[in-house]
Structure 1
Amino acid sequence: MGAYSVNIIGLSSNKVHHFDYDLGEAFFREFGTDLVSQGKFHAYVALNKHETFIEADFNIKGNAVLVCDRSLEPFDFPIDSKHSIVFKFGDVNEEMSDEIIMIHRDTATLELGQYMYEFIALAIPMKKLHPKFQETEDDEDEENPEGKIVYTSSDSSGDDKDDDNNGIDPRWDILKKLK
């Protein structure tokens, strides 16, 4: 049984059971260093066992050490993540959706570590910017508040037509003279 496993057979039904975990370097070495390799987190997990299912509420707080995409400097990124999963007892192990997972009714332990790692990884932004660059990013967003790329063309405005009559390209006139 791993450090992040819970013996669910020993839990009494219709009662909330609380578990606290401190997550650090050993945690990331065990579950992966692809998205997050360093950080300190405190995970609070509440398991509410019922006859046919277990509700699991995860509350994870801490800081991940990320590397800035722009300057390659490490910085602390605060994370406060709350997620819920329902483990339903059934005949097979199957992930039914992101929030509902079917586990075999004879399962003795739940491995919570992988879920905690995934919740931390989900909180990591795609674009990792050091806080000193956040101000410049916000300034750019004020110019274009929707964050969309806007393409413009002088031909589509209608005001930039050529000086020739009816906006005909003067190159066509040269071709007409060849007739």
Structure 2
Amino acid sequence: MDSFRVYAVPLKSLRNGIHRFNWTLDSSFFEHFEASPIRKGVFKVSMELDKQDDLSSFQLNIEGSYKSVCDRCLANIEIPVNQQYQLYVKTSLEVVSDPSLICLSPGEVELKMAGIFYDYICLSLPITQTINCGQMESPPCDKDILSRIQSADDFQSEETVWDALKKLKEN
């Protein structure tokens, strides 16, 4: 995609040594990926590349947030993300099964990073879409839903299946 050209790193034209790159990925970036879990969000990706002749090292720092619906109370929330990843790139014709190592053919002049950014951001997302609203001054939580959940939890905690099994064990 031509819109992803800005996320390409020109490996062949760079001299050996340390190089730094910065990108900002917004909602328009995620629109290009079908079934993306992120619809609205902004992420800053900073990358430090240590280019060498045989093996180049990429240190990626992904920081940002995205909007989601809380799994607990269904309120609209903003979830922060902050992760670091290490990636290695070498020029070779062999295929390697290591997910942190990318092998480029000798004719490749650039490394397209858009798919890598997308994959790493998706790996950084929490499994449950919740935030710690107890520490916020004005939490976005739906208090009505949370009170219903609490009353249902109180009802279930009166006697559980495990309590019935404990009674059988005691007899």
**TM-score, normalising length from structure 2?**
0.74
Please state if 1:60 is matched with 2:72.
no
Deviation at 1:83, TM superposition (A): 0.1
> AA paired with 1:120?
I
Count of matched residue pairs:
145
Unaligned runs of 5+ in 2: 137-145, 147-160
Structure whose CA Rg is larger: 1
Partner SS for 1:118:
helix
**Aligned residues: CA RMSD:** 2.6
The aligned counterpart of 2:43 is 41
Distance 2:30 2:68 in 1: 13
Which string of whole-angstrom CA distances, capped at 9 and with x for unpartnered residues, describes residues 116-159 of structure 1? 111111111111124337998xxxxxxxxxxxxx95613662x2
Is 1:73–1:130's contact at 8 Å kept on the other side of the alignment? Answer: no
For residue 166 of structure 2, the aligned residue among 148, 154, 174 is 154
Is 2:113 the partner of 1:112?
yes
Matched with 2:156 is: none
Q: Distance in 1 between matches of 2:33 and 2:70?
A: 22
Identical-residue share of aligned pairs (%) = 22
Equivalent position amino acid for 1:19 in 2? F
1:107–1:114 CA distance, 2 compared to 1 (3 A): same
Normalised TM-score (structure 1): 0.71
Any conservation in 2 of the 1:31–1:113 contact (CA below 8 Å)? no
Please, which moves more after superposition, 70-79 or 80-89? Answer: 70-79
Secondary structure in structure 2 of the residue aligned to 1:30: coil
Q: 1:16 to 1:32 in 2, by over 3 A?
A: farther
Matches within 5 A, 1:9-158: 9-13=12-16, 15-92=17-94, 94-132=95-133, 151=162, 153-154=165-166, 157=169
